[in-house]
Structure 1
Amino acid sequence: MKRLYLIIALLSSTTLIMAQAGGVAPLAKGQNQINFGLGFSGFGIPAYVSFDFAVHKDVTITPQVNVVLDDDVVWFGAMLKADYHWNYLIGIPNNWDFYSGARLGFLTGDDFELDLGLQIGGRWYWNESWALNLEFGGGTGFGTTLGVSKKF
């Protein structure tokens, strides 16, 4: 039992040290960021635009609009995403951004589809305000996206 406590103490100490020495949030509370790009989904090829609002150093709320081009149907979608950004907790540099979260929205074309799911993604900032982003989504709607982000 003492070994278990020792291992937990060592892991906790290491995590705290890494968090203190590590990076900071790529978006500070109150900052915003626009994202846009293309992707792949079960519905076709989506194009998207989203807007991140940093409500905490580790949390963003993101409204997103999608247009999905399927063979003969154009789907329109809207969703709201909430993401936790892991940078500070795991201590990665601020030119990288690693996040995960959940989303709720809809897609409409031939039918009305609920878009409920989870996502995990990341960004690499090549300068102070521009980044490449990649996101993998699972659930009932939107899927993988690749795009560009701009802080302001």
Structure 2
Amino acid sequence: MKNLTLLLFIFLSSKLCAQIDTNLIYHKAENIIKLIEGEKIDSLLINSTDSIRCIPCNEFGKNKYIPKKVFFSERMKGIFTSELISRLKRSKKMVVLQSSPYPAYVVFYEIFEKGEIAPQHEGVSFGIWLRSDENLKFTAIETIP
């Protein structure tokens, strides 16, 4: 129920993509995943904004906006485990246009289905943000819930 409410909130505060080919957005997000899996740091730096907004990195006292060099050299491996990458590759996905805190397309991957973790658990989605005003550069990650 919580997951449904959150998705409704996302749809109310944003709109589904119609302005750009969703296949291009999916391709860009999948390319980011491949670059992360291959640890292609130079390519990731080129295909990313100056800082990465990392919602799962919201540790007490730490900034959510991490310089991209720091994110890719110090944080990436701890977040993008082989298990997560495997789940991302085989997940259902959808694209949402987000306007705040900046214009971006978010590819949400359903990495855990409802009830998969535990009975009555709402499931988990993982979002890869691509900044729309910067040629779909990788700019953020988040998880729901």
TM-score category by the smaller chain?
0.3 to 0.5
Structure possessing the higher radius of gyration over alpha carbons: 1
The structure that is helix-richer by fraction is: 2
Q: Flag the structure with more relative contact order, 1 or 2, with Cα contacts below 8 A and sequence separation at least 6.
A: 2
The structure that is strand-richer by fraction is: 1
